[in-house]
Structure 1
């Protein structure tokens, strides 16, 4: 009976070691994690902005100018490392037009970053702001993307 207890104890210890081993990353790079301000899970907080169709349905040149300004604002935010992800979404029933993920965790700062965007100012787009928890590596995708686009939108 003693050998059965030792056997069971050994199995429990081995199982516990296996569980611990699965929870640690052998590829963990502490310098990169620190540089990216990552938490223990490799994540960090951002601001997610959902862009919906606004109430302004004007289709004149004013609209074109507002969306040209929107693109300039996007490029400025990228240059200032404030915009992490941006893009349109496909057709949907929610009038959702696109998303931004901003590097700031402060919703007031996020609103301030977009307050001069003509498409939002002139109500061609409306913006909703949410705290977002995502991979700390998100900003790195922009560097890779800059190497693969052929035509600037």
Structure 2
């Protein structure tokens, strides 16, 4: 099936899409870290700083998607999809996270090939969110 009538070359270039409409990202799996002995107040402050960092990276175009997992027994806390083309660049961004610095979270990083249209998520999300996190 041809999508030639729908193809938008300008948008594809803006988003960094290849001929399949895809691009390389780095996905991070956020897991519980080894240092989780913070007081409830310290943990709450780290969470606020963690969320602020997410907002900063999203605003800078470095983070395409972020979100928590529902409670589980695997220690999985959430995911990030970074708008970078190497694990090394993503690692540098994860090191800006206060919860990672404190050892409350650890991140496993994986190169990932996904739709370039994900680059539109943050812009569109603002249109459907009544409140900030």
Structure 1 and Structure 2 fold alike (TM over 0.5): yes
Give per-residue Cα distances to partners, 1:23-47, cap 9 Å, x unaligned: x313111221112111111100001
Offset at residue 91 of structure 1 (A): 2.5
Cα distance in 1 for partners of 2:74, 2:17 equals: 33
Where does residue 8 of structure 2 map in the other structure?
A: 29
Measured after TM superposition, the shift of residue 52 of structure 1 is 0.5
Rg comparison, structure with higher value: 1
Q: Which residue is 1:86 aligned to?
A: 66
Q: TM-score, normalised by structure 2?
A: 0.92
Flag as ranges the 4+ runs of structure 1 deviating above 2 A: none
Q: Following TM superposition, by how much is the alpha carbon of 1:134 offset from its aligned partner in structure 2, in angstroms? A: 0.6
RMSD: 1.2
* 5+ residue gaps, structure 1: 1-21
The count of aligned residue pairs is: 131
Task: Using structure 1 for the length normalisation, give the TM-score.
Answer: 0.80
- Bigger RCO (CA 8 Å, 6+ sep): 2
For residues 67 and 147 of structure 1, the distance between their equivalents in structure 2, rounded to whole angstroms, comes to 24
